Structure 1
């Protein structure tokens, strides 16, 4: 994998991870077009570092807003912490139950089955993209409540919808969670801040999971051809920096369109992307 491949994947991952258009679907398509193997240790390491870069982009971009909202006082911190805990718990419950259900229905409870086995299914990915597009468009047509605040009920629903996104590549996490919050009466800015606060909580778990897969696959790689972990880290650090920059630009774009009432354009894009995924296969 050369610098051009890293640059393209970093831009795709960094931008699409934070825009409501599903980064995983775009990365998988990009990998296929470039002839790369997404299961290789090199690609796994790159994915871990790209996620890390976008996580730092979210923290840098929203830090001032979160400081004013979440850390303005002890009461504000406790209130918002409860919302995040409730949403994250709902994500865990729904996500784990859904994973068990999929494993039972698709693999007959095969202990060797992993949800990543479904990621190459173009029809499933296209359906998820289309569902996200419809949800975004539907939420954009609802009138905004300028001072709409989040409550525990809204947080639970947002977390539950986030749990639905976990197994399905193409069902945009940010698109689904922001749309759900908007549909339940949250203001646009509050919905955006809360969605990405949940992302910062969720992303480290994703990074650890991918890092563990890397550790397992790296042991096999060393045994086969003697590739060192250091050889995998260098290109991935470059990718992390590039995804950080792309993520910051993507967040500015998302915030501007959300505030200007252009949220539905992301939904339209998801519908078009669903067709493209089916064509690429």
Structure 2
């Protein structure tokens, strides 16, 4: 990989991982658009770990508070502490990906083998789930924060998240959609989505790292460190500004972007 390719893909990952526009779709479409070969598994692992580090650093205080609160709740058997409650809800929302992740990942590998098919899937999911996000933003009551989620709501968000393994769906987008339908504010739906990404990206990163260790391909460590560092910096800024402005700008700009992107991909595929 040359430096331009590394910078481009790391920037794409850092920017799109936490926006409701699908990082997996962009990481597949970007090499096709610019004429690059699909990046290696090692690079995907590196940029995902970069975004994981960014979200963990951004929410470091919340993570520390929740960890201590959950530990206290285990000792006392009480869920009265709202931070302990939120921690348990994140764990519950992670369960579906543990159960459904492997079969859906197998489906993804089949889809990625056919370049034409993967473009059709990305275009369809980009448009379809973009419209669903729009409906959630329009119809959601937006009256409660993430601390008010019950276990059924958390499990439902987790089930929605499992679907995001399909390219173009967007993990952030689909979990925000579920949160908005469940009455969360835009910021609360986004914060829960970002916190939920921590165990999810960690699990995916561990699985990809296992595949990487088993792979006989050589590893260009300098490229991986550069990609991880760039994706970390851009992801951190993306989280900060998204949470700062989302209540004011709504989800519409992201929906509009998804519709335009999906239609462009369809146009290219049908040429």
Q: Normalized against structure 2, the TM-score is what? A: 0.84
Q: Which residue of 2 aligns with 1:109?
A: none
Query: 176-185 vs 71-80, which deviates more?
Result: 71-80
- Point out where structure 1 has 5 or more consecutive residues left out of the alignment: 104-112, 222-227
Q: How many residues align?
A: 257
CA contact (8 A) 2:66 2:87 kept: no
CA contact (8 A) 1:99 1:115 kept: no
Task: State the Cα distance separating 1:117 from its structure 2 match.
Answer: 3.2
Q: Which residue of 2 aligns with 1:93?
A: 99
Q: Note the aligned Cα RMSD (angstroms).
A: 2.5
How far, CA to CA, are the matches of 1:29 and 1:90 in structure 2? Answer: 27
How far, CA to CA, are the matches of 2:130 and 2:84 in structure 1? Answer: 34
CA contact (8 A) 2:21 2:258 kept: yes
Cα pair distance change 1:24/1:99, threshold 3 Å:
closer
Q: Which residue of 2 aligns with 1:6?
A: 6
Task: State the Cα distance separating 1:97 from its structure 2 match.
Answer: 5.7
Task: State the Cα distance separating 1:81 from its structure 2 match.
Answer: 2.8
How far, CA to CA, are the matches of 1:35 and 1:80 in structure 2? Answer: 44
Task: State the Cα distance separating 1:93 from its structure 2 match.
Answer: 3.0
CA contact (8 A) 1:87 1:157 kept: yes
SS, match of residue 121 in structure 1: helix
How far, CA to CA, are the matches of 1:248 and 1:198 in structure 2? Answer: 16
Task: State the Cα distance separating 1:71 from its structure 2 match.
Answer: 5.0
Q: Normalized against structure 1, the TM-score is what? A: 0.82
Q: 1:80-133 CA distances to partner (integer Å, 9 max, x unpaired)? A: 232122211123334456567x59xxxxxxxxx756436762111111111221
- Point out where structure 2 has 5 or more consecutive residues left out of the alignment: 73-80
Task: State the Cα distance separating 1:67 from its structure 2 match.
Answer: 4.9
Q: 1:163-187 CA distances to partner (integer Å, 9 max, x unpaired)? A: 1111x10001001101101111123
Cα pair distance change 1:118/1:145, threshold 3 Å:
farther
